Amino acid sequence: MKVSANLVSEFEVHKTTVQTDGSLKQITIAPKSAGLGSSVNGAELLLLSIATCFCNDIYREAPKRNLKVSGVEVTVTADFGAEGEPGTNFQYSVNVISTDSPEDIQDLIHHVDKIAEIHGTLRKGANITLTQTKNEQHR
């Protein structure tokens, strides 16, 4: 599965798209009130990524266990310090709504915690490599 994200930012323009195996989706994020950059910061998007991954994986894994889930709420928190410092103290809480037994849902939650791809990527650590740079002259 090939996944990508793209953003174009200019004065009062902030366009974002994501793509998985050729399926392109646009995500609307307003520019900052000053006009340049995103009104949502990278830390917020990172935490939303963790929450989204867990939520989607609950819905993916529940039917494999013959469980019915009708709702999921995930809250993720972390601490970020000075500019340039990595985040610490990543934690999340989960509420899964289901008519199945609490024990079965707890087992599902713990299973998804172990197999969620974003969680696993962050827990393992990921290499991030700058592959190309450009510098266009002002238009």
pLDDT in tens, the chain (139 residues): 999 999 999 999 899 999 999 999 999 999 999 989 999 999 999 999 999 999 999 999 999 999 999 999 999 999 999 998 999 999 999 999 999 999 999 999 999 999 999 999 999 998 999 998 888 877 6
The torsion of the CA quartet 31, 36, 41, 42, rounded to 10 degrees, works out to 110
- At which residue do the structure tokens 């991954």 appear? 53
Residue 56 shares a structural domain with residue 73: yes
Both tokens assigned to 55 = 């939520």
Q: What is the pLDDT of residue 139?
A: 63
Residue 56 shares a structural domain with residue 31: no
Domain encompassing residue 35:
1-40
What CATH number does the domain containing 57 carry?
3.30.300.20
- The answer to whether position 73 is within a domain reads yes
- The answer to whether position 78 is within a domain reads yes
The per-residue b/e assignment along 80-103, b for 16 or more CB within 10 angstroms, e otherwise, is: beeeeeeeeeeeeebebebebeee
Check: pTM over 0.85? Answer yes or no: yes
Q: Please give the single-letter amino acid code of residue 21.
A: D
Residue 22 shares a structural domain with residue 48: no
- The answer to whether position 60 is within a domain reads yes
- 3-class SS of residue 2: coil
Residue 1 shares a structural domain with residue 29: yes
Rounded-to-integer distance, Cα 89 and Cα 81, Å = 11
Rounded-to-integer distance, Cα 48 and Cα 23, Å = 20
The torsion of the CA quartet 28, 29, 33, 35, rounded to 10 degrees, works out to -80
Residue 34 shares a structural domain with residue 73: no
| Count of domains for the chain | 2
Residue 68 shares a structural domain with residue 6: no
